[in-house]
C-alpha cells in the first residue's frame, strides 16, 4: 500500500470512528502475537491520530509461554471478552479475524465498525463492515497496522515496535513463508526499533513442568503414514498448544503434512501444516472438519475447531478416528493407509 492510499484509508477510518468515544478492539480467541500486536498498534493509532480511547479485548486463553511472556514484558493490558459492555463501547474494531469467522466471540448481531485482517477467505459479513481492510496476500495483520502508523506519522514506542516485530516474525516464520514484500519492509522498519532484550526473553521463555509432559504425550501419540503425520493430545492445557505442536512436528524429515488434534474445555482443536506446494492447507482442513465445526487458514498453515460436548473418552476417540480417516482419505485417496507409530511402548 502506498502512503497516499494509507492516508486516504486513515481518513475513512477516522470518519467511521469519529462519532464514538470508546473503541473496543477485539482479537480472535486465544490470540497469537500477530493479533495482539496489531490490536495494540491500532490502539496507538486511534489514540494519536483520532484522539480516541480504546480497550483491547480477547477471548479464550493466552497459553503459549512465548505469548504470556509477550503480554507481561510488553505490558499489553487486555480485558476478557466477557467484560465487554457494548453500551459503553459503541464502536468495535475486529483485528486478525473477521465477523462470522468462528474464532472470535463478537456476537453475530453486532457488526463491527472496522475489520483489519489478512486471513482467507474474505467473509460475506466483512463486506458489510463500514471500514474493512482484509489483505489476504499479507503475511501479518501487524504489517497492515504498521503501514497505517507510518502513514499517520506516529512515533513508535519500543514496546509496540517489539510487539509488531514479533507479530510479523511469528506469523511469517521469520519471513520464511507466507510473506510478501510489504512484510519485509515492515520488518526492516522495525528491526532497529525493538527492545532486543525483551524480544529475546519472549522468544526463549521459561516453560512450566506441565509443558514438557504435554510434549511427551504429543510424541507418544504420533502416527505416520508415508509423508503424513498425525498426533492427538487429549486435554491440552491451552488451545494453541495444537498449533505449537504442529510447528514442532513440521520439523520432521520426510514429513509433508502434519495434523495435530487436541481437546481443551469440551472442544476439539485442529492444526495443519504443510510443505505441499500444490494443495491448500485451509481447504484440506475444511474438508476434514466438514460440517462439524469451523476452519480457516492460509496456504500452508490452517486451524479448525469442533464443538463436541459432552465428550467422554469413547465419543472423543471415535471423533479423533473420524478426523484422522478423513485426513488420510483426502490426501491419499484409494490407498490402504496403515499408519505406524513413532514411539512403540510395551
Closest approach, Cβ 70 to Mn ion, in A, equals: 14
Closest approach, Cβ 62 to Mn ion, in A, equals: 15
User: Which element (helix H / strand E) includes 307?
Assistant: strand 301-307
Q: Which residue has the cell 504443510?
A: 274
Residue of minimal Cβ distance to Mn ion: 34
Closest approach, Cβ 297 to Mn ion, in A, equals: 10
Closest approach, Cβ 97 to Mn ion, in A, equals: 9
Nearer to Mn ion, 211 or 240 (CB): 240
Nearer to Mn ion, 273 or 326 (CB): 273
Nearer to Mn ion, 30 or 141 (CB): 141
Closest approach, Cβ 95 to Mn ion, in A, equals: 9
Residues forming contacts to Mn ion in the complex (CB under 5 A) are: 34, 96, 141, 171
Retrieve residue 10's grid coordinates.
486513515
Nearer to Mn ion, 95 or 289 (CB): 95
Query: Angle at the Cα of 219 (from 215 to 223), degrees rounded to 5?
Result: 150
Tell the burial category of 215 from Cβ atoms under 10 Å away from its Cβ (0-12, 13-18, 19+).
middle
Nearer to Mn ion, 34 or 195 (CB): 34
DSSP β-bridge partners for residue 340: 224
Amino acid at each position: 500500500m502506498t502512503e497516499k492510499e494509507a492516508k486516504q484509508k486513515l481518513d475513512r477510518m477516522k470518519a467511521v470512528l469519529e462519532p464514538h468515544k470508546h473503541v473496543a478492539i477485539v482479537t480472535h480467541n486465544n490470540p497469537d502475537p500477530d493479533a495482539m500486536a496489531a490490536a495494540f498498534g491500532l490502539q496507538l493509532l486511534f489514540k494519536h491520530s483520532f484522539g480516541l480511547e480504546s480497550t483491547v479485548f480477547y477471548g479464550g486463553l493466552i497459553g503459549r509461554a512465548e505469548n504470556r511472556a509477550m503480554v507481561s514484558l510488553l505490558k499489553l493490558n487486555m480485558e476478557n471478552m466477557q467484560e465487554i459492555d457494548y453500551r459503553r463501547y459503541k464502536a468495535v474494531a475486529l483485528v486478525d479475524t473477521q465477523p462470522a469467522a468462528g474464532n472470535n466471540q463478537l456476537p453475530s448481531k453486532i457488526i463491527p465498525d472496522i475489520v483489519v485482517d489478512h486471513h482467507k477467505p474474505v467473509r460475506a459479513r466483512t463486506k458489510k463492515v463500514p471500514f474493512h481492510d482484509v489483505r489476504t496476500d499479507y503475511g501479518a495483520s501487524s504489517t497492515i497496522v504498521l503501514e497505517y502508523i507510518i502513514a499517520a506519522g506516529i512515533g513508535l514506542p519500543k514496546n509496540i515496535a517489539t510487539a509488531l516485530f514479533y507479530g510479523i516474525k511469528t506469523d511469517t516464520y521469520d519471513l520464511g513463508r507466507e510473506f510478501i514484500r510489504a512484510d519485509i519492509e515492515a520488518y526492516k522498519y522495525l528491526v532497529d526499533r525493538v527492545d532486543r532484550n525483551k524480544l529475546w526473553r519472549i522468544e526463549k521463555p521459561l516453560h512450566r513442568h506441565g509443558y514438557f509432559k504435554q510434549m511427551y504425550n504429543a510424541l507418544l501419540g504420533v502416527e505416520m503414514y508415508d509423508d503424513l503425520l498425525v498426533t492427538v493430545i487429549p486435554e491440552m492445557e491451552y488451545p494453541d498448544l495444537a498449533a505449537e505442536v504442529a510447528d514442532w512436528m513440521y520439523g520432521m524429515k520426510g514429513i509433508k503434512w502434519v495434523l495435530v488434534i487436541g481437546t481443551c474445555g469440551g472442544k476439539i482443536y485442529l492444526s495443519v501444516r504443510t510443505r505441499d506446494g500444490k494443495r491448500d492447507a485451509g481447504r484440506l482442513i475444511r474438508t476434514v472438519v466438514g460440517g462439524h465445526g469451523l476452519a480457516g487458514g492460509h496456504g500452508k498453515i490452517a486451524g479448525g475447531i469442533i464443538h463436541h460436548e459432552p465428550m467422554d473418552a469413547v465419543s472423543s476417540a471415535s471423533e479423533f478416528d473420524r478426523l484422522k480417516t478423513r485426513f488420510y482419505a483426502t490426501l491419499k485417496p484409494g490407498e490402504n493407509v496403515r499408519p505406524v507409530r513413532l514411539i512403540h511402548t510395551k
